[in-house]
Structure 1
C-alpha cells in the first residue's frame, strides 16, 4: 500500500503532463500552415505522400519506380492501418493512431518504471521530450516504429523470444531496430532472441510477399540517395558554400540534398564511417565482459546513435528514435547513458529550431542555417562518442582482465526466487 501511495503521485503527474503536451502538439498540428511552423511542410507528408501510398498499397502492390518509397515492406502495414478507422479522413485516422501508440509507449515506460529497482525517469523523458519536436512526431510514422523498439528492449529481459520478435517487426518497418539486439547477454539469451528475430522476420516477409507484389522495391531507391543537407556531410558541404563551393541544394528522394563537386566523396566517406561504427560495435561485443540490467538498453542507444551520426541522412524525425531509446535507458538505475540522454534532449530542441522554424535559412546556406545544423549535429556526434565510451567502460571488468564474466541470471532462476503475488 505504501509503495502504491509513493508511485501514484508521479504517475498522475506524468499522465497530466502527457495530456497537456499532446494537446499542445495537436494545436500546433492544426496551425501547421503558420510560417514559423513550416508553412504546411510538416503535415504535407501525411495527407499527400502517405495517402498516395495508401491508395497503391490498398490494391495489393508496393510503390514501384517511386523514388520517394525507401522503406522496408513492413511500413506498408503501418500506412494501411489508418484505413481501418471508419468515419474519419486518412489524415485524422493517422494522427489518432499515432497518439494511441504514443500513449502505449508512455504507459509501457510508466509500468516498467514503477517496478522495484526501476525508475520513472524514462517515462518522464519520453513524455516531456517528444514535444520538443513540436508536431513533427504526429505527422511521421516514427512513433510507431519507436514503440516496437521500446517493447522489444523492455520485454527482452523477461522474454527473449518476445524481444526478438518485436525487434524483427520494427526492422521490417524501418531498418534501424535490427540493432536493438546487439547488447543481449551472451549465451542462451542471445541465441533465443536472435533466433526468434530471424524466424519472425522471415515469416512476416514471406507473408508480405504473398499479399503484395514487389516488396523489396525500396532497395532500388534507397541505394540512390545522396547527401541530405541536414547530415554531418551535408553540414560540411553547406559551410563550404561560404568558401566558394559551387554545389547547390536540390529536392530529390524526398529530401533536400546537396549536388555538385565532391558530393560523391562525402557520401562514400559517410558509408565508410558507418562501416567503422559497425566495426567498433562488434569489437565492443567481443571485448565486453560484464553485463548489467541496463547493458542491452545502453548498447541499443549507442548503436543507433553511431549509425545516425554517420548516415547520409539525419532527418528531424530520427530524434524520435533516440528519445525512445534514451527513455528505455533511464528506466534502469544502472544505466551509464544519463548524460547522453541530456545531449539527445538538447539536440532535439535545436533540431526543431532548424526544422521547421528556420529551414529556409538551412536550405539557403546562410550562416544562421549552417550554425544551427552545426550545433545540432555536434550535439549528436558528442552524444554518440560519449555513449560508446560509457558503454565500453561499463562492460569492462573492474578487477583485471581475468575476472569472470557477469551476466544476468536466467529468467527461470529469478522467477523461482521471487515471492508469489496475485497482483
Structure 2
C-alpha cells in the first residue's frame, strides 16, 4: 500500500475512534461534569460578579424569611411567583456561608436528572446524543449566567416536562406548571402542550387545579393579594438596558443624544433607559406581547386542527412562544436565553437535523449574550458602539429564530392529516 494511502487510512481510523469516543455515555457525562465545574468556578471567583443575584439578593430574601422578618410574596409584593422561594430557601441547607456553593450543587443535580432522562436507559440514539452534546455546548457558550439565576432551576424542569409530553402528559403538565410558579416563562410551554396534545383537557385540568392549590396555600400562609403580586411588579418595571426594544435608545446614545441616559433603579436593582418615549415603549411591550402570543396561538391551533402530530408541532410551537416572550419583553435579562434550552433539546430529539437551524441560532444567541454579560457588561452600560452592535446582532438572531419557528408551525399544519 502506498505511503499516502496508509496515512489516509490511519487518519480515518483516528477519526472513527474519536467519533466512537464522543458517541458514548461516558464522554457525555464527562462533558457535562466539566462544563458544570467550570461554570461553577466562574460564578464563584470569575470576573464581572455573575453570581450577584444569588449571593447578594436571593440569600438575603431567604435569610429574612428564615428569621421571621419578611417573607417575600407573602408579607410583601414580589417580582417572582411564590414557588421561587422554595429553591432560594433550600440553598440555606448548609448555612448562609455556603449558600452559593449549595445553590450550584442544587442546580447541577437538577440538570443531571434531566440529562439522565434525556440520555435514557435504552440504546443511545443519534438524536438524543446530539441533543445532549448541544445542551452541554450551549451551557458552555452561555457562560456562568446559565447556573447563576432562578431561571436555572426551571430549565431542567422544563426539559423533563417536554421530554415526557407525549408519553406522560399528566406528569408533563405537573412539572411545567410547577416551573411556571417558580418563574413565569414555562407557562408558555404549558400553552404549547395544550395546543399540541390530543389529551389537552387533562393538561388544562392538572395545570388549573395545581395553580389553584398553590394560590390557596399562599392565601392560607397570609399572602392576600401578594400571591399574584408578581404580575403587578413586572408590569411596573421600566425599559431595561438589555431589552430588545432598548436597542433604539442605545443607538441614540451612540449618536450623541443628550436626552437619553442609562440609570440604575435601586428598587428593582436593574439598569434602565431614561429618555423620550422610553416609558411609553415599556408600557407597550405587554400589549404587543399579548398580541404576538395570540398570533402564535392561532397558528398552533390551525396546525393542530389540521392533524399536525405532537412530534411535529410541540417543539417549534414552544420555541415560538418562548422567543415571543423574549423579544416583546421590557426586561431582557441575559438569563432569559436559558429559556431556549428546553424547546431546542426537544426539537433535536424529535426532529434531528431538521432542527439544525434553530439549534445554531440559539447557540449563537448564547455566545453573544456571554460576550456582553458578565465580563464586559460595563461597556454596554456606557453604550459603547461595539457592544450595542453585539446586542443588536443578538436581537436580529432572535427575530430570525422567531421567523423559523413560526414557519415550522405553519408547515406542521400545511397539509390536512
What's the TM-score, normalizing by structure 2?
0.86
After superposition, give the CA deviation of every residue in 1:132-178 in whole Å (9 maximum; x if it has no partner).
12222222121211112111111121121111111110110111111
After superposing on structure 2, the runs of 4+ consecutive aligned residues of structure 1 that deviate more than 6 Å are: 64-67
Following superposition, the deviation at residue 22 of structure 1 comes to: 1.7
**Using a 3 Å threshold, how does the CA distance of structure 1 residues 169 and 335 change in structure 2: closer, same or farther?**
farther
Distance 2:298 2:264 in 1: 38
Contact 1:98 1:143 in 2 (8 A): yes
Q: Provide structure 2 residue ranges, at least 5 long, that are not aligned to the other structure.
A: 1-19
1:306 aligns with 2:345: no
Aligned match of 1:348: 366
After superposition, give the CA deviation of every residue in 1:29-48 in whole Å (9 maximum; x if it has no partner).
2322xxxx31x2x1121111
After superposition, give the CA deviation of every residue in 1:352-395 in whole Å (9 maximum; x if it has no partner).
01111221111101211211111111111211121111221123
Contact 2:241 2:271 in 1 (8 A): yes
Aligned match of 1:296: 314
Following superposition, the deviation at residue 274 of structure 1 comes to: 1.0
Distance 1:113 1:236 in 2: 50
Distance 1:204 1:283 in 2: 29
Contact 2:242 2:331 in 1 (8 A): yes
Aligned match of 1:234: 246
Distance 1:372 1:320 in 2: 18
1:139 aligns with 2:151: no
Instruction: Give the alignment's Cα RMSD to 1 decimal.
Output: 2.5
Which range moves more in the overlay, 205-214 or 171-180?
A: 205-214
1:246 aligns with 2:259: yes
1:281 aligns with 2:296: yes
Distance 2:74 2:272 in 1: 22
**Using a 3 Å threshold, how does the CA distance of structure 1 residues 269 and 88 change in structure 2: closer, same or farther?**
closer
Which range moves more in the overlay, 314-323 or 187-196?
A: 187-196
Following superposition, the deviation at residue 224 of structure 1 comes to: 1.1
Aligned match of 2:201: 191
Of residues 330, 333, 341, the one that matches 1:315 is 333
Aligned match of 2:347: 329
Distance 1:48 1:27 in 2: 17
1:259 aligns with 2:277: no
Contact 1:249 1:256 in 2 (8 A): yes
**Using a 3 Å threshold, how does the CA distance of structure 1 residues 338 and 66 change in structure 2: closer, same or farther?**
farther
**Using a 3 Å threshold, how does the CA distance of structure 1 residues 245 and 382 change in structure 2: closer, same or farther?**
farther
Distance 1:117 1:341 in 2: 15
What's the TM-score, normalizing by structure 1?
0.84
Following superposition, the deviation at residue 108 of structure 1 comes to: 2.0
Contact 1:133 1:352 in 2 (8 A): yes
Of residues 50, 58, 62, the one that matches 2:58 is 50
1:29 aligns with 2:43: yes
**Using a 3 Å threshold, how does the CA distance of structure 1 residues 19 and 98 change in structure 2: closer, same or farther?**
same
Q: How many residue pairs get matched?
A: 387
Distance 2:233 2:169 in 1: 34
**Using a 3 Å threshold, how does the CA distance of structure 1 residues 380 and 187 change in structure 2: closer, same or farther?**
closer
Q: Provide structure 1 residue ranges, at least 5 long, that are not aligned to the other structure.
A: 1-5, 398-402, 406-423
Residue aligned with 2:173, SS: helix
Aligned match of 1:127: 136
Distance 1:148 1:105 in 2: 7
Contact 2:162 2:342 in 1 (8 A): no
Following superposition, the deviation at residue 83 of structure 1 comes to: 2.3
Contact 1:153 1:328 in 2 (8 A): yes
**Using a 3 Å threshold, how does the CA distance of structure 1 residues 380 and 65 change in structure 2: closer, same or farther?**
farther
Distance 1:101 1:92 in 2: 14
